[in-house]
């Protein structure tokens, strides 16, 4: 019998873990208990970049080392613990930046094909954003058609990957002071691909041996992710599929239906999932489902694809990263279709215990045992229909052993940067002014971006929820993406009523007046670029300093696990944000490297890293930083407590 209570705070997940155990199905939770992490690799002290290794270089044993002893504590090539930790760290950034940016490249390719009329079914949905990006990039508008402008944007976007000189176009979106700092520090990225390749070159045996210089390249590649590849993905997706606006949805395994065909979309890129949603609405498909004995077709999402289609279509979310196997364990999933990133290889072995078909769609990501139906962007609707049909045809194979947990929670999502602007300022005077004003008058203490994964080494969702609740209780508005957003939805923090239940009185007052939850869902992990835009908008609106590093804001990923999270954290830090990670820290094998990231970076970038596995302590590190920034801005005076009459409430908005 498994002890589900020790593995997750989510009842639906606990029920499914118990069902899995009773049916002899192995999940990530079992494997995490059976296999402990390598203690040397976990702290970044193992170098396996050449055939003389792997070399393990542990920390010195307490006492001062003699030069002779120090010499011995090196890899075969002479690499020190510092070099090895820094190399490993920036290779994680390269992996994360590559994943986000290659996603962005895929979107740019589809965008260009759509603009040229070569991708039927896709069109420009957000003309305003199309024109805005054209203006930002210096592309002529005049009396040219949207298609002509879009072709220029698509070509310019793709050229950003191979740019050899100069700076990425989106860097201009950052506050001027930040742009100047990046230039001064020599970290303004050139081409996105170039910065990632340069990490691979510098970390090859016998190249860059100075940890400070290695970390500098890590910063440059991370900026190329946040202000490059990820921003590209977000902006072009918004133009193609529409910029998200507030939408009601439901989240958790209870969104699966006992009497409908359940098709789960899992992964990251919305290119295919948008079409699957359209294909499932085709009356012909619904009729086919009925002919198989189902009442209809139910689409649900997992991971960041879920966030994308929730934000734009209100499609329900079945769960976050650690719930992907558990969804199959319900026995009610006819097909799980995946593209790239955060897809566990074990979903095929879990699926073998049920009737679920696993369908891979990307030539970049195949899984042994899965059915491969390649996504063809030139014939997207046909690919999508083939997938939906495969799911429908599998419905009669469902066995009797189906159990869907009852838990499903309401949430409001769709808080893009533009939506926040509109909600706060109204259509004709859209601005962040009310947010800045409420920060200055102290009703809102600051803003925290809490994002990132689940990690099977810690209790599922526990740190996410503990940290977010502690922040909102202390009047810190939380903005979120990725698996943290899904966790917050499951915990009921994303409805306006959560403000009176969980938020401090100042934050609750503002949320109730504007009608927003105290935790705002901003999208998927590439949409962390929306957080950069929101922070920049706060700077530009005035009254809170001239740079992101002066704002009373902080970031965190309390249950991180992926390389993408490290890249995101690094671009938050490089943008001037104090950022706290939980679970584990990958450079603890070198005190010097860790000190450099945690302390020296503040002097260099105005933002720095911290590691704190306890989510409440982590929240208080963030609050202390927010208070430090409030003090520096001179807005740290005691907050008045007043009762608001209607006139004062109107003034609040
Ligand atoms: O990109 S938060 S587990 S799903 S890596 Fe993955 Fe982490 Fe979830 Fe989205 Ni982001």
Domains detected in the chain? 4-62 (no CATH), 81-241 (1.20.1270.30), 253-397 (3.40.50.2030), 421-633 (3.40.50.2030)
Lowest mean pLDDT among 59-73, 187-201, 204-218, 325-339: 59-73
In tens, the pLDDT along 555-575 reads: 999 999 999 999 999 999 999
| 112 DSSP 8-state letter | H
* Structure tokens, 556: 């965190």
Average pLDDT over residues 491-496: 97
CB atoms within 10 A of CB 213: 12
Residues 6+ apart with CB under 8 A from 137: 153, 156, 169
pLDDT of residue 645: 65
In tens, the pLDDT along 576-610 reads: 999 999 999 999 999 999 999 999 999 999 999 99
Residues 6+ apart with CB under 8 A from 652: 434, 438, 509, 510, 513, 514, 644
- At what angle are helices 146-162 and 81-115 packed, to 10 degrees? 160
> pLDDT band for position 2 (50/70/90)?
confident
Q: What is the C-alpha separation between 509 and 455, in angstroms, rounded? A: 34
Residue labelled with tokens 């004062």: 648
pLDDT of residue 326: 98
* Ligand 1 pocket: which of 455, 482, 528, 571 to mutate (most atoms within 8 A of CB): 482
CB atoms within 10 A of CB 370: 21
Taken as a whole, the chain contains a residue count of 653
Q: What is the C-alpha separation between 468 and 583, in angstroms, rounded? A: 16
* Structure tokens, 101: 């940016």
Q: What is the C-alpha separation between 577 and 175, in angstroms, rounded? A: 13
pLDDT of residue 421: 80
Lowest mean pLDDT among 96-110, 253-267, 344-358, 625-639: 625-639
pLDDT of residue 62: 73
CB atoms within 10 A of CB 431: 16
Instruction: Tell how far the Cα of 551 is from the centroid of ligand 1, in angstroms.
Output: 26
Q: What are phi and psi of 473, to 5 degrees?
A: -60, -30
Give the residue, 420 or 374, on which the prediction is more confident: 374
Measuring CA to CA, how many Å separate 613 from each of 13, 204, 463? 22, 32, 8
Residues 6+ apart with CB under 8 A from 78: none
Q: What is the C-alpha separation between 48 and 481, in angstroms, rounded? A: 33
> pLDDT band for position 109 (50/70/90)?
very high
Q: Closest Cα to atom 3, ligand 1: which residue? A: 453
In tens, the pLDDT along 146-158 reads: 999 999 999 999 9
> pLDDT band for position 434 (50/70/90)?
confident
Instruction: Tell how far the Cα of 303 is from the centroid of ligand 1, in angstroms.
Output: 6
Average pLDDT over residues 52-75: 87
pTM of the model: 0.95
* Structure tokens, 330: 């319900």
CB atoms within 10 A of CB 201: 11
Measuring CA to CA, how many Å separate 368 from each of 125, 315, 355? 37, 29, 16
pLDDT of residue 396: 97
* Structure tokens, 423: 């909600």
pLDDT of residue 398: 94
User: Are 252 and 319 contacting, i.e. CB atoms less than 8 angstroms apart?
Assistant: yes
Q: What is the C-alpha separation between 476 and 496, in angstroms, rounded? A: 15
In tens, the pLDDT along 33-61 reads: 999 999 999 999 999 999 999 999 988 87
> pLDDT band for position 67 (50/70/90)?
confident
* Ligand 1 pocket: which of 309, 340, 341 to mutate (most atoms within 8 A of CB): 341
pLDDT of residue 72: 87
- At what angle are helices 482-490 and 303-313 packed, to 10 degrees? 70
Residue labelled with tokens 């009356």: 283
Instruction: Tell how far the Cα of 302 is from the centroid of ligand 1, in angstroms.
Output: 10
| 258 DSSP 8-state letter | T
Instruction: Tell how far the Cα of 561 is from the centroid of ligand 1, in angstroms.
Output: 8
Ligand 1: atom nearest CA of 341 is 6
Q: What is the C-alpha separation between 582 and 190, in angstroms, rounded? A: 31
pLDDT of residue 39: 94
Measuring CA to CA, how many Å separate 272 from each of 85, 298, 311, 382, 617? 38, 16, 15, 11, 41
Q: Closest Cα to atom 1, ligand 1: which residue? A: 525
Which one, of 353, 355, 262, lies nearest residue 302 by Cα?
262
Average pLDDT over residues 402-409: 97
DSSP codes, 265-299: EESS-HHHHHHHHHHHT-HHHHHHHHHTT-S-EEE
pLDDT of residue 428: 58
Q: What is the C-alpha separation between 169 and 152, in angstroms, rounded? A: 14
Q: What is the C-alpha separation between 98 and 91, in angstroms, rounded? A: 10
Q: Closest Cα to atom 4, ligand 1: which residue? A: 303
Give the residue, 641 or 593, on which the prediction is more confident: 593
- At what angle are helices 146-162 and 230-241 packed, to 10 degrees? 160
pLDDT of residue 269: 92
Average pLDDT over residues 259-287: 94
Average pLDDT over residues 460-467: 98
> pLDDT band for position 395 (50/70/90)?
very high
Classified as helix, coil or strand, 553 is: strand
């Amino acid at each position: 019998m498994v002890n589900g209570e020790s593995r997750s705070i989510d009842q639906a997940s606990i029920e499914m873990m118990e069902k899995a155990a009773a049916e002899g199905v192995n999940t990530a939770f079992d494997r995490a208990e059976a296999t402990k992490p390598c203690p040397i690799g976990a702290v970044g002290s193992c170098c396996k970049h050449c055939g003389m290794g792997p070399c393990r270089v542990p920390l010195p044993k307490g006492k001062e080392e003699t030069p002779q002893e120090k010499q011995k504590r090196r890899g075969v090539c002479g690499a020190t613990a510092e070099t090895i930790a820094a190399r490993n760290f920036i290779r994680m950034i390269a992996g994360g930046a590559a994943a986000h940016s290659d996603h962005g490249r895929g979107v740019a390719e589809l965008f260009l094909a759509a603009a040229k009329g070569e991708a039927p079914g896709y069109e420009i949905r957000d003309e305003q954003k199309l024109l805005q990006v054209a203006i930002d990039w210096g592309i002529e508008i005049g009396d040219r058609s949207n298609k002509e402008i879009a072709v220029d944007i698509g070509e310019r976007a793709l050229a950003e990957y191979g740019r050899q000189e100069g700076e990425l176009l989106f860097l201009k979106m950052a506050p001027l002071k930040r742009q100047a700092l990046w230039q001064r520090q020599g970290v303004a990225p050139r081409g996105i691909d170039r910065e990632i390749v340069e990490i691979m070159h510098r970390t090859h045996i016998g190249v860059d041996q100075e940890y400070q210089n290695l970390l500098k390249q890590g910063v440059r590649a991370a900026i190329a992710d946040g202000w490059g590849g990820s921003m590209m993905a977000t902006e072009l997706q918004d133009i193609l599929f529409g910029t998200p606006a507030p939408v009601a949805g439901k989240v958790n395994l209870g969104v699966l239906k006992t009497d409908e065909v359940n098709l789960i979309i899992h992964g990251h890129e919305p290119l295919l999932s948008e079409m699957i949603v359209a294909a499932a609405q085709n009356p012909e498909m619904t009729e086919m489902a009925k002919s198989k004995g189902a009442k209809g077709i139910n689409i649900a999402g997992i991971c960041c694809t879920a966030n994308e289609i929730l934000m734009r279509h209100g499609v329900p979310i079945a769960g976050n990263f650690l719930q992907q196997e558990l969804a199959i364990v319900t026995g009610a999933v006819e097909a799980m279709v995946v593209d790239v990133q955060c897809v566990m290889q074990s979903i095929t072995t879990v699926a073998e215990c049920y009737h679920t078909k696993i369908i891979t769609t990307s030539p970049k990501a195949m899984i042994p045992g899965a059915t491969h139906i390649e996504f063809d962007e030139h014939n997207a609707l046909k690919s999508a229909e083939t997938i939906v049909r495969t799911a429908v045809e599998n419905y009669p194979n469902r066995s009797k052993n189906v159990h869907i947990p009852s838990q499903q929670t309401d949430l409001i999502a769709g808080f893009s940067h533009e939506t926040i602007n509109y909600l706060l300022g109204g259509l004709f005077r859209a601005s962040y002014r009310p947010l800045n004003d409420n920060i200055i008058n102290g009703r809102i203490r600051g803003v925290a971006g809490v994002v990132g994964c689940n990690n099977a080494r810690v209790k599922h969702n526990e740190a996410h929820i503990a940290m977010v609740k502690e922040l909102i209780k202390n009047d810190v508005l939380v903005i979120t993406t990725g698996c943290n957003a899904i966790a917050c939805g499951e915990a009921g923090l994303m409805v306006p009523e959560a403000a009176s239940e969980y938020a401090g009185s100042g934050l609750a007052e503002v949320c109730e007046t504007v009608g927003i939850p105290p935790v705002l869902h901003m999208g998927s992990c590439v949409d962390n670029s929306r957080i950069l835009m929101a922070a920049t908008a706060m700077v530009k609106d005035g009254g809170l300093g001239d740079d992101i590093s002066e704002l009373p804001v902080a970031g965190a990923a309390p249950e991180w696990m992926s390389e993408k999270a490290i890249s995101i954290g690094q671009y938050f830090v490089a943008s001037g944000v104090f950022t706290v990670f939980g679970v584990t820290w990958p450079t603890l094998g070198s005190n010097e490297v860790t000190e450099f990231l945690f302390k020296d970076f503040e002097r260099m970038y105005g933002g720095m890293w911290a590691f704190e596995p306890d989510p409440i302590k982590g929240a208080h590190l963030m609050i202390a930083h927010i208070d430090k920034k409030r003090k520096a801005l001179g807005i740290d005076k005691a907050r008045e407590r007043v009762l608001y009459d209607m006139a004062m409430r109107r003034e609040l908005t």
